[in-house]
C-alpha cells in the first residue's frame, strides 16, 4: 500500500490541483481591487494579476489588517517588480469603513476595471457586525453587496469591466432564511457559512441580470475556488486540525486562486455573465441558487438592511 500511494501521489496531487487558468491576457493600465488579499487565494490572485504585462495593473489590496496587507503587498512588489500594488483599509464588517474606502478610492483613482469580492469569514462563533448583521451574512454578502453598489458607476465608466464574486460549493447547503436572516432564533455556524455563500450566488445572478438588461458591458460571475489549505478555517479547532492532516488532498492557495484569475482575465469570458465556475469551467448551481424570485427578494431585503436604493 505505501508503494502504491507513493506511485499514485503525483496523480492524486494533479487531480486535487484542478484546473489552471491558461490565459496570457495582459493587464497594462488596468485597475483591480481585491478584497481580503493579504493571505490565501486573495494574495495569490493579487500576485498573478500584478505581473501581467510590463506596465502591469494597479492592484489594490483592500483589507482589515493593514500590517498583514502591507507585508503581502511588499512581497508581491519585490517578486513581480510591480510597484503599483497598494494597500487600502477596508473592514467588511463595518459599513462605515466600506463607505470610507469607496469614498477614498473614488477620489484617488479615476478608473476601475476588475472588482474581485474575495474576502470572507467561515465557521465564526455567533457574532454580529458593527451594524448588527450576523457575521457571515454581513461580511460575505452584505459587505460586498454595499461595496459593489458604491463602486459600480466607476466600473460602468471603464467598461468593459468585471465583477468576480468568490462563493463556494457550500452554497448547495444554504438557504435564504428571510424569517431569521441574522440567526437570532436558530444558529449553526456551518450552515450560516453555507447561507452566505448561497447569497453570493444569488447576488451574482441578479446583478448580472440587471447589468445585462442595461447593456453596461460590466459582467458579474461567481466561483467555487475548491477546498483550499488556508486560514479560512481558523475559527474551528477541529477543521484546522483536519486541514493539517489532510493537507495533501487540499489545493494550495495558488491552485485555489486559478478560477478567480480565470474569471478576472480569460478572454473567452468577455461577454459571459451571471455564471458560476469551478476549476476554470462552468459548474453546477444548486436549484436554490437558480431561484430568480429568491434572488430578487434578497436584493430588495439587502438594500433595505443597508439603507440604499439600487434600481
C-alpha cell at 123: 465557521
The values of phi and psi at residue 87, to 5°, are -110, 140
> Do 261 and 208 meet the contact criterion of CB atoms below 8 Å apart?
no
The values of phi and psi at residue 124, to 5°, are -75, 140
Indicate the helix (H) or strand (E) that contains 103.
helix 95-108
Taking residue 132's Cβ as centre, other Cβ atoms within 10 Å add up to 9
> Do 88 and 101 meet the contact criterion of CB atoms below 8 Å apart?
yes
What DSSP string describes 181-212? TT-SS---HHHHHHHHHHHHHHHHHHHHHHHH
- Quick one: which of 269, 271, 259 has its CA closest to 165? 259
Taking residue 166's Cβ as centre, other Cβ atoms within 10 Å add up to 28
Residues with a catalytic annotation lie at: 193
What is the rounded CA–CA span in Å between residue 15 and residue 262? 18
CA dihedral (234, 237, 241, 244) in degrees, to 10, reads: 10
Indicate the helix (H) or strand (E) that contains 38.
none
Give yes or no for a cis peptide into 25 (omega within 30° of 0). Answer: no
- Quick one: which of 111, 102, 3, 9 has its CA closest to 59? 111
Cα dist. 244→52, 72, 250, 253 in Å?
Answer: 33, 23, 9, 14
Amino acid at each position: 500500500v505505501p508503494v502504491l500511494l507513493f506511485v499514485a501521489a503525483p496523480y492524486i496531487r494533479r487531480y486535487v490541483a484542478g484546473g489552471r487558468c491558461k490565459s496570457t491576457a495582459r493587464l497594462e493600465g488596468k485597475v483591480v481591487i481585491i478584497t481580503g488579499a493579504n493571505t490565501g487565494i486573495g494574495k495569490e490572485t493579487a500576485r498573478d494579476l500584478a505581473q501581467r504585462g510590463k506596465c502591469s495593473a494597479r492592484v489594490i489590496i483592500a483589507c482589515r489588517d493593514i500590517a498583514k496587507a502591507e507585508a503581502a503587498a511588499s512581497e508581491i512588489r519585490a517578486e513581480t517588480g510591480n510597484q503599483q500594488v497598494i494597500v487600502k483599509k477596508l473592514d467588511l464588517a463595518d459599513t462605515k469603513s466600506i463607505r470610507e474606502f469607496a469614498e477614498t478610492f473614488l477620489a484617488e483613482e479615476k478608473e476601475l476595471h476588475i472588482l474581485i469580492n474575495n474576502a470572507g469569514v467561515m465557521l465564526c462563533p455567533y457574532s454580529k457586525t458593527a451594524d448588527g448583521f450576523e457575521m457571515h451574512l454581513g461580511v460575505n454578502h452584505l459587505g460586498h453587496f454595499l461595496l459593489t453598489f458604491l463602486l459600480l458607476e466607476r466600473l460602468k465608466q471603464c467598461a468593459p469591466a468585471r465583477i468576480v464574486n468568490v462563493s463556494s460549493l457550500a452554497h448547495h447547503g444554504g438557504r435564504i432564511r428571510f424569517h431569521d436572516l441574522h440567526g437570532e432564533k436558530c444558529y449553526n455556524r456551518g450552515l450560516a457559512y453555507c447561507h452566505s455563500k448561497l447569497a453570493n450566488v444569488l447576488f451574482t445572478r441578479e446583478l448580472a441580470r440587471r447589468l445585462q438588461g442595461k447593456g453596461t458591458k460590466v459582467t458579474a460571475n461567481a466561483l467555487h475556488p475548491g477546498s483550499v489549505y488556508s486560514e479560512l478555517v481558523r475559527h474551528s479547532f477541529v477543521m484546522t486540525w483536519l486541514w493539517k492532516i489532510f493537507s495533501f488532498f487540499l489545493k494550495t492557495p495558488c491552485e485555489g486562486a486559478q478560477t478567480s484569475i480565470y474569471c478576472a482575465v480569460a478572454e473567452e469570458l468577455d461577454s459571459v455573465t451571471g455564471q458560476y465556475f469551478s476549476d476554470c469551467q462552468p459548474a453546477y448551481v444548486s436549484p436554490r441558487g437558480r431561484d430568480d424570485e429568491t434572488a430578487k427578494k434578497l436584493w430588495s431585503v439587502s438594500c433595505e438592511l443597508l439603507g440604499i436604493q439600487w434600481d
